[in-house]
Amino acid sequence: MLLVNTIRDNFETVLEGLQKRNFPHAEAVLHQVLEIDKNRRDTQAQRDGLQAESNSISKEIGMLMRDGKKEQAEKIKTRTTEIKEQIKTLEEAYSTYEEDLKQLLYSIPNVPHYSVPKGKSAEDNEVVLSHGTIPELPDDKLPHWELIKKYDIIDFELGVKITGAGFPVYKGRGARLQRALVNFFLDEAIKAGYTEVQPPILVNEDSGYGTGQLPDKEGQMYEATADKLYLIPTAEVPITNMYRDVILNELEFPIKNVGYTPCFRREAGSWGAHVRGLNRLHQFDKVEIVQIAHPENSYDALEEMSAYIQGLLQKLELPYRVLRLCGGDMGFTSALTYDMEVFSAAQERWLEVSSVSNFESYQANRLKLRYREEDKKTQLAHTLNGSALALPRIVAAILENNQTEEGIKMPKVLIPYLGFDVI
């Protein structure tokens, strides 16, 4: 959530950033924020003025009573009654302005970093780098949804029977591949200095608002309506919310956590060949890295996280590229996002497998996540997160890119976790 002071003091910069995002009616919305804030502050000033007057009258009444001037004291008491009613009316107005301002700020996305390119869709994203060689497969190559049937390692029909479309059942070596990837990703993160946590996969409404899933993505999350809880779309939500309403010491930076969770996304409105098989699921496994950083160091942390995720892709021997997302394709809360895509040789297309983002203070303001420098006031921290990695499309690329006449060869780095080298 943007700070009102930021909008007031840097109006043109904020406006330019929101226009880069193609945020509709940006200027009018920002002016509305400032108008509501002015009304709120004016109301507070009136209330404070009346409270000061009330305090002064109370002292005067006390002096009159001590001097035995009871009749005079009773006369001015009527003014205190009037003031109390006026203060009550102003407090109600202030609360209304405060709530209206909060809801309006919730509707405004983060301001992009200056390096974010302009654009409206994924076609306008900027390729930062490419790595690896795209494998050449024979003409009879199979996409992963055919390979999983051939080797009986993932069952989509059984998932439909149990739950519905988008909830596959992993079997045999398919299940072992899932477990191997999760353990490999967790072990690598721990080696890189991340502390493993195992968070809840249901979160409350405050947690959803804290990281920005609410109200922006309410329709995309599965909800346990009786308890007003949400199944997490990513481990970012519970892990980052561990620091909600926390004041850190600056010496604690950087804070680095990693967690594995299943993730749940309704993906409403998604259909077509591009979401076939493992390309888009309602339930999937993911390992997430999260950092809480000092504002001066958060972009160094972002580059470090990007390099770390690229290192995982290199160890899995998957060709990949890194994109800097344009303003029109960025997530609501992000200031700068890199996407990592692997090449799926049978589908002959790039598949997104990770996003790593710096949210600057946008989430921290919602979370009331602050840090204190020595002998100074508290300030908002910066939050970052990245997929390291999401499993479905990684599995799709491993299966497709490594298919041979003898079977599907496993990446060397996974063999100690798997106990086999081919499916």
DSSP string over 109-165: PPPPPTTPPP-SSGGG-EEEEEES-PPP--TT---HHHHHHHHT-EEHHHHHHHT-T
CB atoms closer than 10 angstroms to residue 40: 19
Round to whole Å and give the CA distance between 390 and 386: 10
What backbone torsions phi and psi does residue 332 show, to the nearest 5 degrees? Answer: -55, -40
Residue 71, H or E segment: helix 70-106
Confirm whether residue 223 is marked as ligand binding: no
Round to whole Å and give the CA distance between 194 and 419: 26
What backbone torsions phi and psi does residue 401 show, to the nearest 5 degrees? Answer: -75, -25
What does DSSP say about strands 195-197 and 255-264: parallel, antiparallel, or unpaired? Answer: parallel
Round to whole Å and give the CA distance between 380 and 102: 17
Confirm whether residue 267 is marked as ligand binding: yes
Q: Residue 200's Cα: distance from chain center in Å?
A: 16
Q: Which residues contact 15 (CB under 8 A, 6 or more apart)?
A: 26, 27, 30
Round to whole Å and give the CA distance between 47 and 189: 53
Q: How far is CA 91 from CA 42, 50, 83, 85, 103, in A?
A: 12, 11, 12, 10, 18
Round to whole Å and give the CA distance between 111 and 113: 7
Confirm whether residue 317 is marked as ligand binding: no
Confirm whether residue 111 is marked as ligand binding: no
Confirm whether residue 266 is marked as ligand binding: yes
Round to whole Å and give the CA distance between 29 and 182: 43
Confirm whether residue 298 is marked as ligand binding: no
Round to whole Å and give the CA distance between 14 and 25: 13
Confirm whether residue 288 is marked as ligand binding: yes
Burial code of 97-134, b = ≥16 C-beta within 10 A, e = fewer? beebbeeebeebbbbbbeebbebeeeeebeeeeeeeee
Confirm whether residue 234 is marked as ligand binding: yes
Confirm whether residue 354 is marked as ligand binding: yes
The annotated binding site for ATP is made up of: 265-267, 352-355
What residues are designated binding site for L-serine? 234, 265, 288, 385
Annotated binding residues, as ranges?
A: 234, 265-267, 288, 352-355, 385
